[in-house]
Amino acid sequence: MRQSLHELSEEYRQRVRLEQERIERERLEDQARKRRDLVSKVFPMTLTDFAMLYSMVEKWKKAEIAKISSMYCGPSKIAEFYLLLEKEIDILRSLEKLKLQVVEDMGHKKVINFFKAIGKPIEWYSNYKSLHIYMDTLETQRGREYFKLYKTLVKKDLTTEEKLQVYCEIKTYLADHDCGESLQIIHLIDRVCQLMARGAEHRHLDALEKRIEATVLHHFKLAECNEGVTKHMQKKALRKMEKGLAYCPRCQKFKTFDGFKLNARTDKVLICSSCKWLDKTAEPWIDLLPYRFMLQQIRNYERLHHAVSSVAFILQDKDIYHIVTTIWHSHSALSECDDVYQLRLVRWDVTREWSPWNCILLTSEEAGAHLRVGKLEDVYEEEFVNHVFNKHALARKHFPLLTAYDRHYTEMAQGDMRLDEESEYYNRFDPECLYDLEPNSSASSKSNDCSRDGSDTKTQASEYNVTDKYSEKLCPDCR
C-alpha cells in the first residue's frame, strides 16, 4: 500500500511538473511571437511582414475616415480628407522605400544562395537503411572555387595592389575561355587597370567595378561557360517543371506550383502569387501572422499527442484565417473575445484528432480549461453543443476536399522511415558542416568523393569514388 501511494505521488508530481513546463513554454512562445511581430513591424523582410504593415495602414485609414465623417461636414470635411490622403501617400511612399531596400538585400542573398547551391555536395536518399548519401563532385568543388573568387572580387576594403591581384586571377581563369562574355570581362578589367595605374579616384571606378562584378556573375551562371557547374541545378529545375507547371492567365506565364498560393480549399490553380500581390482590389490586405502562430500551436499539440492524421499539417495560415473569420466570426465561442492574439483553435472532442470539424475557438485560458473536460455533455448545455455541431457541419462544407487529401497523405506515409523520428534518417550529418563553402587543398583532386553517414569503407565505382558498397547505384540526378 505504501509503495503504491509512493508511485501515485511520484506520478502526480511528474504530471504537475509537466503541466507547469507546458504553461511556461506557451508563455515563452507567446512572448517570442510578440517580439517577432514587433521586429517585423520595424524591420520588415518578407511579403507577410509588408502585408501586415499594409493591413495596419488600411485599418488606420478606415478609423480616420470614420472619425472625420462623424466630426466634420462640408468644406472642413473635404479639407480633412485631403490631409488624410497626403498622410497616406507619405506612409505608402516610406513603405515603398523599405521594400526597395529589402529587394536589394534579397538580391545579394540570392547570389549567395546560388553559390551555395552549386558548391553544396549532391545529396540523395537511399532506400537501404534510410540513409542519406552526399557526393562531392568536381563540379561542386569548382563551384566553391567560384564562390571564393567572387567573394574576393566584391570586397570593398581591398587596396589597389590587392585589387590588381584579384583582376589578374580572373584573367588567368578566363585564359582558356573564348566566349564573348569572357572577352568582355577582360576588356573591362583592362580598362579599370589602366585607370587605377593612372591614379583615378575610387568614385570614378565604382560603376566600372560593378559592371565587372555583374558580368563575372553572369559568366558563372552561363551553362556553356561554367564547366558544367550548374548542370545538376538545371537538371533539378527541369525535373521540377516536367509535371509541375501551371498557366497564369493574368501575366500569361507558365510557372511552377511554388509560384501559386495554394491552400486546402483550392480546387484549381488560377492566379500566381505575384499577380495576387500586385492586385489587391479583389482581396484586401490581411495580417496572417497571428493565424500562422495559431496554426503552429495546433501542429505542436498534435505532434505532442502523436496524431496520425495529417489535416493540421495540410492546412495553411490562410485556411486558419478562413476558419476563424468565416466559420467562428473572429471571436471566442464562450466569451466572445475578439482579440485575435488571445484566441486559440483547440480540439472540441479531446479524444479525437484536430480537424476543422473537431475544433472550437476559445481564448488561451478557456482553451486550457476546455482541454481538461472529460465529458462535454456534463459541462456544456445542449444548445451550445448544437451550435458547435452546426459550425462543424459548415466547416465540412467549406473544406470538401480535405478528407481526401488527408487519406491520400496518410496512406502515402505508411511505412516511410523518413517520418519515424527514431530512424537513422534523422541521425545524419549536415552537409554544411561536412563541406565548407571555402575550397580546400583537395579541391583539385581528379576523383570525386562521395560520403555516407557513419561509413569509412571505400570502394571504387565506375565514375565516382563511393564510400559504401551499396552506393554504387548513383542518384537519378547524377546519371
Residues 368-421 pLDDT 10s: 889 888 888 888 999 999 999 999 999 999 998 888 888 877 777 676 655 655
- Domain end: 229, 245, 266, which one? 229
Q: What is the predicted pLDDT for the residue at 331?
A: 92
Q: Is pLDDT at 133 greater than 90 in this prediction?
A: no
Q: Note whether residue 442 is domain-resident.
A: yes
Q: What burial letters (b/e) apply to 105-121, b meaning 16+ CB within 10 Å?
A: eeeeeebeebbeebbbb
Q: Note whether residue 38 is domain-resident.
A: no
More confident residue, 465 or 97: 97
Residue 238 sits in the same domain as residue 217: no
Give me the phi and psi of 460, to 5 degrees please: -90, 120
Q: Note whether residue 99 is domain-resident.
A: yes
Residue 88 sits in the same domain as residue 65: yes
Residue 409 sits in the same domain as residue 295: yes
Q: Is pLDDT at 469 greater than 70 in this prediction?
A: no
Average pLDDT of the segment spanning 76-89: 93
Provide the pLDDT confidence category of residue 67 given band limits of 50, 70 and 90: very high
Q: Is pLDDT at 355 greater than 50 in this prediction?
A: yes
Q: Which are the contacts of 40, defined by CB distance < 8 A and separation ≥ 6?
A: 46, 48, 49, 52, 289
More confident residue, 463 or 399: 399
Q: Do residues 307 and 347 touch, judged by C-beta distance below 8 A? A: no
Q: What is the predicted pLDDT for the residue at 291?
A: 92
Residue 224 sits in the same domain as residue 328: no
The total number of structural domains that make up the chain:
6
Q: What is the predicted pLDDT for the residue at 359?
A: 93
pTM: 0.71
Residue 143 sits in the same domain as residue 217: yes
Residue 163 sits in the same domain as residue 103: no
Q: Which are the contacts of 116, defined by CB distance < 8 A and separation ≥ 6?
A: 147, 437
Average pLDDT of the segment spanning 142-169: 88
Average pLDDT of the segment spanning 214-232: 85
Q: Note whether residue 419 is domain-resident.
A: no
Q: Note whether residue 418 is domain-resident.
A: no
Q: Is pLDDT at 248 greater than 50 in this prediction?
A: yes
Average pLDDT, the chain: 81
Residue 142 sits in the same domain as residue 130: no
Domain hosting residue 369, numbered range: 289-413
Q: Note whether residue 166 is domain-resident.
A: yes
Residue 432 sits in the same domain as residue 371: no
Query: Rg of the chain over CA atoms, in angstroms?
Result: 29
Q: Is pLDDT at 446 greater than 60 in this prediction?
A: no
With 0-12 CB in 10 A as exposed, 13-18 as middle and 19+ as buried, what is 64? Answer: middle
Residue 302 sits in the same domain as residue 406: yes
Average pLDDT of the segment spanning 128-148: 83
Q: What is the predicted pLDDT for the residue at 37?
A: 86
